[in-house]
């Protein structure tokens, strides 16, 4: 990326240390968090009473984080694992981890801007809703208005970089979204901002925004904590844990085809370059130490081979005793009983 003097620093961690990379550490924390667990179990039980596609989604969600996707191997023994996720829109684990991943990608970019005293501000924009508006309608309206807003001349002339997160709190009638931006550029007067947002909402076919529909403030705390605010998990787990099937259906429909988090092109490119570079050097270090990653299912297919057997048995030892992996351990145990492992 030109224009921003970005220090090259490593973000992704090494394969040899699966708990060290920020995202894996965050994953372990989120999968064990009782609030996220309660939310996931509630969503699964609601969807299980729905139609065929919803039952299938619930089945996918049940396995989220409970199956190893890749095994970390050194000297024919498992030293760690990465888990597979379901990537369902209503999965609180996946949404929280996606947000954590995006924060991790963007952090070095924003830290560098912060270090060279670029002006960073946080904008919050929402759409005024009338009684009886449905959540899917609100999502469509917000999405269209955001599209117009980020392409408008006033926005482009004031903002040289941005990241946008969406939050979807549960209010009286269901889940209704609003958006938060982290922007690099002049701090606008709220009146000017309201004007630009009002034009965007009108062009998107929505009603006149009120002064409460926009908020703008200069960044006063460090980028790490501000990223937690702007690129947060779109849902609160406690909201999901109490929503009924109708509200979840509306939310699923509203979130469809929409990106809860977006970056401007230059920040995305820069974050992508840094990420790739960090991955390359982590890979080189792994190679030097003889650490590699192997897919779990590939290993299962090769389980007749001695080296694959050894790896699977050492994996069983690691997973044994963790209730979340009961099914996987049972599968590995029956494999060894049948002489496969």
| Nearer CB in complex with Zn ion: 214/240 | 240
| Nearer CB in complex with Zn ion: 89/105 | 89
Q: Are 125 and 213 in contact (CB under 8 A)?
A: yes
How far is 312 from 194, CA to CA, in rounded Å? 59
CB of 85 to Zn ion, least distance (A): 5
Q: Are 177 and 168 in contact (CB under 8 A)?
A: yes
Measured N-to-C along each axis, helices 135-150 and 190-203 cross at an angle, to the nearest 10 degrees, of 120
CB of 279 to Zn ion, least distance (A): 23
240: which 2 tokens?
């999901």
Q: What string of DSSP letters covers 240-273? A: HTT--HHHHHHHHHHHTT--SEEE-HHHHHHHHH
Q: Are 152 and 204 in contact (CB under 8 A)?
A: no
CB of 65 to Zn ion, least distance (A): 7
How far is 111 from 202, CA to CA, in rounded Å? 35
CB of 4 to Zn ion, least distance (A): 34
| Nearer CB in complex with Zn ion: 86/158 | 86
Burial environment of residue 97 by CB neighbours within 10 A (0 to 12, 13 to 18, 19 or more): buried
| Nearer CB in complex with Zn ion: 85/140 | 85
Interface residues toward Zn ion, by CB under 5 A = 64, 85-86, 91, 93-94
| Nearer CB in complex with Zn ion: 84/313 | 84
| Nearer CB in complex with Zn ion: 94/271 | 94
CB of 248 to Zn ion, least distance (A): 14
CB of 217 to Zn ion, least distance (A): 33
Closest CA to 279 of 5, 21, 19: 21
Query: What does DSSP say about strands 77-83 and 178-185: parallel, antiparallel, or unpaired?
Result: unpaired
């Amino acid at each position: 990326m030109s224009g921003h003097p970005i220090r090259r620093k490593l973000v992704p961690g090494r394969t040899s240390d699966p708990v060290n990379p920020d995202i894996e550490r965050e994953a372990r924390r989120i999968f064990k968090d009782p609030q996220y667990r309660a939310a996931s179990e509630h969503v699964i039980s609601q969807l299980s009473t729905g139609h065929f596609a919803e039952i299938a989604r619930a089945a996918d969600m049940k396995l989220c984080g409970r199956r190893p996707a890749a095994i970390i191997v050194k000297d024919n023994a498992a030293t760690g694992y990465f888990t597979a996720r379901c990537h369902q829109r209503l999965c609180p684990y996946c949404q929280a981890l996606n947000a954590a991943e995006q924060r991790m990608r963007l952090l070095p970019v924003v830290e560098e801007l912060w270090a060279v005293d670029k002006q960073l501000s946080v904008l919050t924009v929402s759409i005024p809703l009338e009684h009886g508006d449905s959540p899917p309608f609100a999502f469509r309206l917000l999405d269209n208005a955001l599209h117009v807003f980020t392409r408008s001349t006033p926005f482009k002339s004031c903002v040289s970089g941005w990241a946008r997160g969406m939050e979807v709190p549960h209010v009286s009638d269901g889940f209704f979204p609003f958006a938060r931006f982290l922007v690099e550029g002049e701090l606008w007067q709220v009146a000017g901002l309201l004007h630009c947002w009002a034009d965007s909402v009108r062009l998107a076919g929505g009603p006149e925004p009120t002064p409460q529909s926009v908020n703008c403030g200069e960044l006063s705390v460090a980028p790490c904590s501000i990223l937690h605010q702007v690129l947060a998990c779109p849902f609160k787990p406690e909201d999901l844990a109490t929503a009924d099937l109708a509200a979840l259906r509306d939310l699923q429909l509203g979130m469809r085809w929409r990106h809860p988090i977006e970056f401007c092109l230059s920040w995305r490119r820069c974050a992508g370059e840094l990420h790739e570079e960090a991955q390359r050097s982590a890979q080189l270090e792994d190679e030097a130490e003889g650490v590699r990653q192997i897919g779990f299912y590939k290993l299962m297919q090769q389980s007749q081979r001695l080296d694959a057997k050894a790896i699977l048995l050492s994996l069983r030892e690691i997973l044994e005793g963790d209730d979340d992996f009961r099914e996987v351990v049972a599968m590995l145990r029956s494999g060894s009983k049948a002489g496969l492992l």
